[in-house]
Amino acid sequence: MGYEIDPTVLRLLREELVAVSRRAYERGLVAGVSGNNSLRVPGTDFAIIKATNCCQGDMTVNDTVLVTIDGDVLDKDRKPSKEWQFHLGIYRERPDVGGVAHLHPPYSVAFATANEIPLLVHAAARGHLRILKSVDLMPAGSMELADAIVAHFENPEVRGVLMREHGTVTVGPDLRTAYYRTEYLEDNAKVACLAAQIAGVRPSQLHLAVDLAPLAEAND
């Protein structure tokens, strides 16, 4: 843990976290002060996460918190989001993960509230998301919730987890990729609802009404 981070690199990483978080808010993928994103400082056991009780749409670099992946807060005047446990748990379990996005995209949360996982109904979603999982309703910020989420991400093919009545978690080799996977997840959930209306079935029964294609490679 003695690694020194170049101050310029640290500033750029904080700005990246702010930029992605602001985009999420502007696209309606999170409301109020909800949600939290993070990124790993490349090549280290440090991460940067959103500070607690701040709106992603209003974030500045002062709303980011440098932590170790073991949970030590290095910005002593700042408090990380209460969901820090599953962010850091994912980084400990998955050295290949460089970014974690936790947002509240409404169509995806609607599926989670109905205790369903949306079928991957279009090629982009199948290619970029691979496998989706879900966890039941658990207290936000709890170790119970963190353990359940991290357990799903032990499988590297799982790229998204839906939390019942709560939100979503997506991962990637960097924060932008993790965030884009939330966009694909939300777009897929919306298309699944619309396709189900057209086919006259429940979204969970779409595979009975249409011939969904097998897993496709993601487009670059």
DSSP state letters, 71-118: S-BSSTT--B-TTHHHHHHHHHH-TT--EEEEE--HHHHHHHHTT---
The tokens describing 67, both together, are 């932590």
> Cα-Cα-Cα-Cα dihedral of 25, 107, 104, 120, to 10°?
-110
Give the pLDDT of residue 220: 45
Q: Is residue 2 part of a domain?
A: no
Tell me whether residue 220 is in a domain.
Answer: no
Domain that residue 156 falls in: 7-209
Structural domain includes residue 22: yes
Classify strands 158-163 and 131-135 as parallel, antiparallel or unpaired.
Answer: parallel
Residue 218 has pLDDT above 60, yes or no: no
The C-alpha atoms of residue 17 and residue 107 are separated, in whole angstroms, by 24
CB distance 66 to 74 below 8 Å: yes
Q: What is the pLDDT of residues 108-136, one digit of tens each?
A: 999 999 999 999 999 999 999 999 999 99
Using the structure block, give the residue that is written with the tokens 């940067």. 48
- 91 domain residue, yes or no: yes
CATH of the domain at 113: 3.40.225.10
Cα gap 95→170, rounded to integer Å: 15
The string of pLDDT tens digits covering residues 167-210 is 999 999 999 999 999 999 999 999 999 999 999 988 888 887 77
SS3 176: helix
Count of structural domains within the chain = 1
Q: How far apart are CA 215 and CA 131, in angstroms?
A: 10
Tens digits of residue pLDDT in 37-54: 999 999 999 999 999 999
